[in-house]
């Protein structure tokens, strides 16, 4: 399989974590978002939305990371990333959607570039925008995690699920935008635990071939 992505893209990062947790091998193709390669016709032929990730699996071209994760779960059921019971699956998908639908899209590059370049919003206010939506999203997520009776070492139970694949990249992004994480002890605890695991560590942006060397 070939993953078209970018080292710092949260949606590529969540896909890498899921693939690593399932022990799947894949090649990386870099789509450099900093150089707007996602908008070039060559990439738009793969995904007319001009968004990474895209996963090529034989003659299948998969797009939209939530759909990619679901496909991986169906086709590679070993090391499941969803609980066995319907209520558990609902909970994991809901926690994932809190991040994937309601936090990440507001802070995506194209949104921030629009604020900067077309609305002439200064960097200080761009940071404030990101902080606002990440903090609000994390506050609700923290409450959910604190109340979740099935919370274990991970967001749900003692096994990693989709929710952890979504959470860890979003925490990375929050750190990059200097969001204060002290009000979210459950989130920080899960993040700290996940980062001790190879599947998560290998998916980290700094470990990717397109990451700038230190």
User: Dihedral sign, CA of 48, 6, 24, 166?
Assistant: negative
**Min CB(158)–ligand GSH separation in Å:** 27
Nearest CA among 176, 175, 152, 174 for reference residue 164: 152
Residues 36-75: x/- map of binding to ligand GSH (CB under 6 A)?
--x------------xx-----------xxx---------
Beta carbon of residue 99, minimum distance to ligand GSH (angstroms, whole number): 10
Nearer to ligand GSH, 64 or 79 (CB): 64
Neighbours of 92 (CB within 10 A): 24
Site string for ligand GSH, 105-134 (x = CB under 6 A): ---xxx------------------------
CA angle 32, 161, 205 (to 5 degrees): 25
Query: DSSP letter string over 128-151?
Result: HHHHHHHHHHHHHHHHHHHH-TTB
Residue 166: which H helix or E strand, with range?
A: helix 162-176
Contacts with ligand GSH by CB under 6 A: the residue count is 13
Least distance CB 90 / ligand GSH (angstroms): 19
One residue of 7, 9, 73, 156 binding ligand GSH per CB under 6 A: 9
The nearer residue to ligand GSH, 64 or 150, going by C-beta atoms, is 64
Listing DSSP states for 89-139 in one string gives HHHHHHHHHHHHTTTGGGG-HHHHHIIIIIS---HHHHHHHHHHHHHHHHH
What is the rounded CA–CA span in Å between residue 211 and residue 214? Answer: 9
Distance in angstroms (rounded) separating the CA atoms of residues 120 and 195: 37
Return the number of the residue (26 or 153) whose C-beta is nearest ligand GSH: 26
Q: How far is the CB of 110 from ligand GSH (least distance, A)?
A: 3
For residues 89-108, which are near ligand GSH according to CB under 6 A?
108
Measure the CA–CA gap between 16 and 5, rounded to whole angstroms. Answer: 9
Chosen residue from 3, 4, 7, 10 binding ligand GSH by CB under 6 A:
10
By CB under 6 A, what part of segment 17-36 binds ligand GSH? Answer: 33
Residues at the interface with ligand GSH (CB under 6 A)? 9-11, 33, 38, 51-52, 64-66, 108-110
């Amino acid at each position: 399989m070939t993953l078209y992505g970018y080292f710092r893209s949260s949606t590529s990062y969540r896909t890498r974590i899921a693939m690593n947790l399932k022990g799947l091998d894949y090649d990386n193709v870099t789509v450099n978002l900093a150089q707007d390669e996602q908008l070039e016709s060559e990439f738009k032929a793969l995904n007319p939305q001009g968004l990474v990730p895209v996963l090529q699996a034989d003659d299948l071209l998969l797009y939209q990371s939530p759909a990619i994760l679901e496909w991986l779960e169906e086709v590679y059921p070993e090391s499941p990333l969803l609980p066995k019971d319907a209520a558990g699956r609902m909970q994991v998908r809901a926690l994932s959607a809190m991040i994937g639908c309601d936090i990440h899209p507001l802070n995506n590059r194209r949104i921030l570039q629009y604020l900067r370049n077309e609305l002439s919003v200064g960097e200080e206010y761009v940071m404030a925008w990101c902080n606002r939506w990440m903090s609000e999203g994390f506050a609700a997520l923290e409450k959910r995690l604190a109340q979740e009776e099935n919370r274990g070492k991970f967001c749900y139970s003692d096994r990693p699920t989709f929710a952890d694949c979504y959470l860890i990249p979003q925490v990375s992004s929050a750190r990059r935008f200097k969001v204060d994480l002290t009000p979210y002890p459950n989130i920080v605890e899960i993040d700290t635990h996940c980062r001790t695991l190879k599947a998560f560590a290998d998916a980290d942006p700094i470990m990717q071939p397109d990451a700038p060397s230190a």
